[in-house]
């Protein structure tokens, strides 16, 4: 169960999902050096100093901008909680 004080209507891209899971190597594997730094900056800015948790749900395809880094690239979105 998730504490009710988390906002759970939050959907993030796969990059942010991995970052929230603590898997920053994912970026390393998927982007060239410069792009990776840019993505990492966007994600860290989006994460801020809030608390993020992964939830179970996944949309396999969405055009909804990522609620964390705000990328508008369409693709999978994962549900997370934030407070
Ligand atoms: Zn994102």
Tens digits of per-residue pLDDT, 8-66? 999 999 999 999 999 999 999 999 999 999 999 999 999 999 999 999 899 999 999 99
Q: How far is the CA of 4 from the centre of ligand 1 (A)?
A: 23
Q: How far is the CA of 56 from the centre of ligand 1 (A)?
A: 17
Q: How far is the CA of 17 from the centre of ligand 1 (A)?
A: 7
pLDDT > 80? residue 68: yes
Q: How far is the CA of 66 from the centre of ligand 1 (A)?
A: 5
Residue 45 structure tokens: 């800015």
Q: How far is the CA of 13 from the centre of ligand 1 (A)?
A: 4
Q: Look at the chain and report how many structural domains it folds into.
A: 1
Verdict on whether the full-model pTM lies above 0.85: yes
User: Is residue 38 domain-resident?
Assistant: yes
Please name every residue paired with 82 in a beta bridge, in sequence order, or none if there are none.
7, 52
Cβ-based neighbours of 81, under 8 Å, separated by 6 or more = 2, 6, 7, 8, 10, 52, 53, 54, 55
User: Is residue 57 domain-resident?
Assistant: yes
Q: How far is the CA of 3 from the centre of ligand 1 (A)?
A: 23
Residue 78 structure tokens: 């994962």
What is the residue range of 29's domain?
A: 14-82
User: Is residue 56 domain-resident?
Assistant: yes
């Amino acid at each position: 169960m998730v504490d009710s004080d988390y906002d759970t209507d939050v959907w993030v891209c796969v990059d942010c999902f991995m970052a929230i899971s603590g898997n920053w190597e994912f970026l390393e594997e998927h982007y060239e050096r410069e792009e990776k730094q840019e993505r990492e900056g966007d994600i860290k800015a989006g994460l801020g100093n809030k608390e993020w948790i992964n939830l179970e749900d996944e949309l396999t395809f969405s055009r909804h901008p990522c609620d964390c880094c705000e990328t508008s690239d369409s693709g999978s979105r994962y549900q997370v909680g934030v407070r």
